[in-house]
């Protein structure tokens, strides 16, 4: 069984919006103020997941990456360009714009259930996608690169309380990489994702309400 892993650049006050300044926000560019060392290379330690997993993007993030990555020639850029990439989008993807890219086939939650049976899913940026996955309690792990700055504005990663377990922490250039597991996601993973599995607190209540309303798809457990 694979994992759903969210990777994000983040500030000390929890903001993940506009780290490179490309959105033109007044507070944007906070990750780039520390030079390329903070963002260059495999800072999230994805390693072999670039070969065996699938990278998941929202359309806006994919459009931005598709402008930046295809012409880069570093070893990490080649791995990114060769990786399997899936995009949550309602519009067709331009042919040959970024190799190995495809649209998510069907509803996102159902696609996640099917994909993690055999692959890790790595969500890069893509705040709207992360929000949907959190709503359905589908994120297993966060890899966060925190820069030593607070911007006091912008979209934050966590909109409501969450309990995480610290797995590791290390310096990476001017920032720090921390890996966090979502509490309760390490045991009985198949049962948690299949009908009748254990659910907790508000998540359990929200899911039961969605199921009664017919809006929460069940996992295909095979």
Sign of the alpha-carbon torsion through 20, 103, 130, 118: negative
Q: Which two tokens stand for residue 83?
A: 């990786």
Residue position matching structure tokens 């459009």: 63
pTM above 0.85, yes or no: no
The predicted-structure confidence for 118-160, as pLDDT tens digits, reads as follows: 999 999 988 999 999 999 999 999 999 999 999 999 999 998 8
4 - beta bridge partners? 121
| Residue whose C-alpha is closest to residue 146's, from 114, 120, 179, 115 | 179
CA distance 45 to 65: 19
CB 190 within 8 A of CB 113: no
Per-position pLDDT tens, the chain of length 222: 899 999 999 999 999 999 988 888 999 999 999 887 778 889 999 999 999 999 999 999 999 999 989 999 899 999 999 999 999 999 999 987 899 999 999 999 999 999 999 999 999 988 999 999 999 999 999 999 999 999 999 999 998 888 899 999 999 989 999 999 998 765 444 444 554 343 443 444 454 444 444 444 444 444
The predicted-structure confidence for 37-48, as pLDDT tens digits, reads as follows: 778 889 999 999
Neighbour tally for 97: CB within 10 Å: 12
């Amino acid at each position: 069984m694979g994992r759903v892993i969210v990777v994000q650049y983040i500030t000390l006050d929890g903001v993940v919006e506009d780290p490179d300044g490309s959105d033109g926000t007044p507070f944007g560019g906070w990750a780039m103020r520390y030079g390329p060392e903070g963002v260059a290379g495999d800072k999230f330690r994805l390693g072999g997941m670039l070969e065996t997993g699938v990278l998941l993007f929202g359309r806006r993030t994919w459009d931005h990456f598709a402008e930046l990555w295809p012409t880069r020639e570093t070893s990490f850029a080649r791995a990114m360009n060769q990786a399997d990439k899936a995009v949550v989008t309602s519009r067709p993807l331009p042919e040959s714009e970024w190799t190995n890219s495809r649209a998510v086939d069907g509803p996102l939650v159902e696609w996640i259930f099917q994909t993690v049976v055999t692959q890790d899913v790595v969500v890069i940026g893509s705040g709207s996608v992360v929000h949907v996955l959190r709503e359905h309690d589908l994120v297993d792990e966060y890899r966060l690169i925190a820069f030593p700055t607070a911007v006091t504005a912008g979209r934050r990663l966590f909109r409501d309380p969450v309990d995480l377990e610290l797995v590791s922490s290390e310096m990476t250039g001017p920032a720090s990489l921390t890996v966090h597991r979502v509490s309760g996601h390490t045991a009985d993973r198949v049962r948690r994702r299949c009908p009748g599995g254990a659910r907790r607190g508000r998540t359990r209540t929200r899911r039961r309400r969605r199921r009664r309303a017919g809006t929460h798809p069940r996992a295909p457990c095979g």
